[in-house]
Amino acid sequence: MTGLAARHGPIAGLAHCAGVQATAAVRQLTPSGLESLMRINLVAALMLAKGLRQKPVRAGSASLVFVSSIMGLVGAPGRAAYSASKGALISATRSLALELAREEMRVNCVAPAFVKTAMLDELSRTPGQ
């Protein structure tokens, strides 16, 4: 992020919208699949927060927005891993908001329900759903 800020100037806001959905019963989960999902849905968001909090990177006060999912609050059969990753993102947002407020950073999270995307189209074609 420091290279990006050096080339284009300090960053005032950032949104983490990346996410992967994995529909799998718990018996189908693999460590590598779970690690990949968590890396994209949670770890990437935390690393973006870490990068944005650096003074040379952010423009004075800054805003960070994470996109979680309603599945992080309610869950659904076959969505334990996805729900866990999005629930963890919601919890991380609460902690980051408290931690980074003293550095004039706002941290928020939205948890939309279903949004018409290619991911939703793929889920609707998943047998047994």
Q: Is 82 a catalytic residue?
A: yes
Q: Enumerate the β-bridge partners of residue 66.
A: 16, 109
Cβ proximity of 84 and 23 under 8 Å: no
Tell me how far apart the alpha carbons of residues 24 and 96 are, in angstroms, rounded to a whole number: 30
Q: Are strands 58-67 and 11-16 parallel, antiparallel or unpaired?
A: parallel
Of these residues, 58, 82, 96, 107, which one is catalytic?
A: 82
The DSSP line for 72-113 is HHH--TT-HHHHHHHHHHHHHHHHHHHHHGGGTEEEEEE--S
What is the rounded distance in angstroms from the CA atom of residue 41 to the CA atom of residue 47?
11
Active centre residues (catalytic)? 82
